[in-house]
Structures are given as structure tokens and as C-alpha cells.
Structure 1
Amino acid sequence: MKSIFLAIMFMAFVHESIAQAPLRLAIAGLSHGHVDWIFNRKDKNDVHLVGIYETNPELIERYARRYDIDNAIFFTDLSEMLDALKPDAVCAFGAISEHVEVVRACAPRKIHVMVEKPLATTFADAKEITQLATQHHIHVLTNFETSWYESNQAIKSMLEGGRLGAVRKVMVNDGHQGPKEIGVSNEFLEILTDPQKNGAGALVDFGCYGANLMTWLMDGARPISVTAVVHQNKPETYRDVDDEATIVLQYPDAQCVIQASWNWPFSRKDMEVYGTDGYAIAVDATTLRYRFRENNMEETRKLDTRAAPFNDPFSVLAAVVDGSLVLPKSDLYGLSVNMTTVEILEAAMQSATQRKTIYLTD
């Protein structure tokens, strides 16, 4: 009996050690402004940064100096880094158009990937990413800041619980004063204002949030049609891309209006959901306003932040890779929702260019 007990204790110890092993993570690119997140989570030990791929020597020097990073973990060849380090996962922080290249390199090596929003600049790239992920059995997640918002989760719960009735109208407002106005790095600005690297301007940069959230709220359903209007309010600053975009998604019984802008007076990421029995408004990550049809007064509730691991995208990635977290098929991070997100964005770009409504076909 004693030997059996010791064997059980040993197996439990081994299991716990494996479960707690940090994710061996590599970074592909330093030009995306959100990359700093990975260097500012020193209070967490679920991820261990093992390598960084970057070809720009100025960026390498800047980040090595800013975060006291050992030069030995920098690589200028992605394949060389992957073969030398064999990371568990890679996070892509380059241009959106480069996401498919990262997945092409990682998928055959069985390395999981997380990209910054959106998944791709074209629907063809999104489909290739999905095919590669399926073929090689890897996870490909897309990180949106709004996935961290407890207010959005509360609205989803209200819908699923029947408190709001059937969805009829959704308004999603995202953006800020403009990337140059808020002082993003020159490298990030160059991506955001390049229609090949980013797909479009504000339409993609902030329109992707609404497309992602609405697809999630609709349990993965695709809209019937997409209509978009774009404009350059500041052509002297953003000469090659739009800085103002409005996208209308039409469903059989619901409509979503996405207002993506580099012209807001301040940063905002809020969502309004109107149903047959009430409405709910996610004012920010933890503030929820709502009113049900039987009530005369609107109520406001302050929420806690999302519980771990959902309060940190790298923690989500680590949990998904080690199997302790299984995301629903229609999750905000998942390929299914983000495939449709890219399909919507591509249709919106076509609509704006052709100045007509684009109807999605099966």
C-alpha cells in the first residue's frame, strides 16, 4: 500500500509540474505597438520569452536597451529561430499582412500562434491560415482588447439568458484621435497607413472590433450584406488610407452599425446592444448600463475585471496550449469568428471602393 501511495503522489507531482511549466514563447516582429505588453507582465510566470525575430536593427537595439534584453535571443531569420528554439507558441507583432507568413512557418513545426487583431488583411489569407491550422493541428488565436472586457461578457450573458430578447440593433464605436496624433512609433505608423500591410486605415484598425463582436453576439452567423462608407478627414496626414469609416452589417432580423474612426476626441471602445426586451451598453471594460422593458429607470453596474486567465491574452494562450482551457467554437479569440470578421472587413473595403452594398453568398 505504501508503494502505491508513493506512486500516486509521484504521478500527482509530475502532473502538477507539467501543468505549471511556463509556455515557451517567441515573438515574431517588434513593429506593432502592442508588443510592449509581453515585456510588461513581470508579475506573471506562466510565459517564458525565449526568442525574438526582427529584421530592423534599430528596433532590436531599442527594445534590447529599453527592456534590458539579452542580444542572444534576437534572430533575423524566422525559420532559424523556430528550428533553434522550438518554442511552444509564437506571437506575431508585425504587419497584419505578415500573419499568414508566420503561420506558414509555424504550422508545419506544430507551433501554436497568436496574432494581433485582425486575423488577416484578406479573406484568402484567413482561409489559408485556417487550413494550415486544421492540417497541422495547431491553435491560432486572434487577440482583441475587447475580449478582455467583462462588460461585453455581461451583455452576452444577458442575451443568452433572454433578458434583452432578440437582438435588433447593435452600435459599436471604436477608435481614437488618430495614430499619429496619439504618438505611435514610426514603425507602427508605417504599418497602419500602408493599405497593403494593414488592409485599410481606420476601417481595419478599428472596424475589426465591431465585426468580431457582432459575429460573436450572433453566434457565428454571417451578415446578409455589408455596406461601408469611408473618408479622409485628414488627407494631409493619412493620404493613402481612410481615417473615418462607417460599416453597416445587415442580418435577417438585426442590424449592426460599426463606427471606426481616427477622429474621435478621445479613445473609446464601447458597444450598445438593443433587443426586443431591453438594451445594454458596455461603456468601458467594467461599466455596464442597461434597461429592461418592464423597468422605467436605466441602471448602471460597475463590474470586476475578467477573471484569470481572460484578463491577459498571453495567459489565455498559455492555458489553451497546455489544455487547461478549451475555448468555445464561437469564442472571440477563435478561428471561426475571426474568419467571418475578415470576410466582413474585406466586403467593407469592396463596398467603400465600389460605392455599393456587398451581398455575402454561401
Structure 2
Amino acid sequence: MKRRTLFKLSFLGALLAGGGLYARQSSASAYYKGPLSDHFDGARFFNPGGETPNGFMDLMKWRFDGNKATWPEAYPSPFPFVKPDERVNGKDLRVTFVGHASFLIQTAGMNILVDPVWSERTSPFNFVGPKRVNPPGIKFNDLPPIDIVLVTHNHYDHLDLETLHQLHIAHKPHFITPLGNDVVIRTRVEAAKISVGDWGDVLNVAPDVKIHFEPCHHWSARGLNDRRMALWAAFVIETPGGKIYHIGDTGFHSGLNYHAARKKHGGFRLANLPFGAYEPRWFMKGQHQNPTEAVEGMKICGAAYACGHHWGTVQLTDEAIDAPIIALKAALTEHGVAEDRFRPMHPSEVFDVPMT
């Protein structure tokens, strides 16, 4: 393969991995048709009162400004591979980190995977694009029976079709995702059981467990011509042991969504919050919060504990691999939050969340 062709593929893979695609947009949604709303204009979804993603010239400025830190080729987790228990019952709550934004949540006898990615690359290609620097914290064959798979949005570091296909073969889980993403999933997992929802919708997945779809400030894209044609969302998992607030990706958005979540849900036993992939701020602010904003969000939404993710597995942005945990520690000190309340999760790390 010629070097120029390889460079083009590498660059395209990097853009696709983070949803950073900038091309002519069609006038109709490829994934969803439905009534207009305060966040859907008939073709595309948007963040009410929020920021739109940066344009092509800003992307070029960022990609070629030469400020990207060099990550190591390997960044091993300090925790050994873990084989989870088959079930965690009652009000107990156990969270096991897989890596990047992937979690196993166990409570009330249910096993819930969020944004599962077991692939080596977060890319549409298996030979180019952001590559993980540590393996998934749970070996795929060591997973307990999976009941629910939550997919927050369709960027490649959150919606990995090959992993979803393998999960369907092995576990036949119930996939739950925001509007339009079911079309993407069915391109690889045609027979999957999939439920979709809009912001504000609620699904009863067990007699005592509910899944709420909540707003976050982000966007979506899988290809060259589908920007914002599928919805993105946060999830609130309502269980007998308390509520869990999971955000896959979000800009801080003046804390508006955190305030709304607190008002609606009254606080949380646990919040899983992104705190990495945030530099440079002039480009990333609207879609990825930084560690200080993550700590502010934790306080605003009333979370007793937080698990920090979206760092240390694949390099999507400019900051050094350990910059998020250094900045997080400083932010916790600044805001008077004990370090054990906001854990920057490493692959294979297990957190038994205390009752509140």
C-alpha cells in the first residue's frame, strides 16, 4: 500500500473514530423519522441552546497544530484480569471497568453492560485508527450472563458492531439505545432485541428496575453523511439500591443537564462520568467535559460516588495519557471532594459502591 493511501486511511479512521466527519449533509435522516421536538428538526438532532460541532476548518487547524501528546504503546492496568460473579443481588451494587467507556454494572440480580467495546481499535477499520493501549479488563469469555446492553450513542468508541454481534451470539441481551441507533445496530445484529427511546422516555426492564433516557450535550456520526441523524443520551438506571447516572460523552453545557437530572431524580448513589478526551478546549469543550467540569457535575447532580471513564485506553485527543488523573486530583482538592468519592477507573478495577 502506498504511503499516501495509508495516510489517508489513517486520517479517515481517526476522524470516524471520534465521529469527526465533515462532509455534505443530506436533507433527510438515514436512521430516524419522527415528529419535530425541541431537539429534533425533522432531519437532525441537536442540543437545545447548546453548541454545534466544530466545522471542517477548525478540524484541520486542530489536527495539524502539532500539540498532540505522545502516548505509550502499552499502558497496563494496575489491576489483574477479573472474572465477575454470575450475579450481584438485592441492593448491592458492583461496577467493573472494562476500559475507555465500557462498564459492567451488577445489581438487583441483573447484569448490564454499557457501551461495550472489545475490539482492538475504535475505528470503522480493523487495521487503522485509534488502537487501545491496554486490553479489556474482563475477558469476553469470562463475562457473566448479560441481560441488558446500553449504547449511549453511535461514535465508534461507544458503538462497536463486532462486539454487539458477539454479545448477541453469546448472550442474546436486550439492547437499549437512543432513537435511530437501532438502524445502525441491525446492520450487523439483524435479529437483536432492541428498544429505542427519546429523552424523557422510561423502560421497565424488570419488576424493580427501570431505564430512563436523559439528555446530554453531544452529537453523533458513523459515516460521511449522517451527522446528528441518530440521538445521543445519558441513562439513569433506577434500582432497589438507588439510582445510577451514566453519561457516555458530554460537554458541560453550563451544568444544565446535571441540574435537570438532580431536580428530576433527587440525587444518585453513583454517577459514571467522562473526564478525559478534552484537549484542546477550544475544539472539545462542546462535546467533552474536562476533569474540573466532571467534578462540578458530580456535585451538581448530587452523586454520592463517581466512576471516571473515557481516559487511558485509546487516544482520541491531545492530552497526555495521565493528564486526566493529575487534573482530576487537583479538581477534587479544589472542590473539597474526597478522592475516594470519585474514582478514575482502570481496566479490571472493581468498585463495590457503598450504600448512601
Query: What TM-score range do you get, normalising by the shorter chain?
Result: 0.3 to 0.5
TM-score (norm 2): 0.33
TM-score (norm 1): 0.32
> Could you say which structure has the higher helix fraction?
1
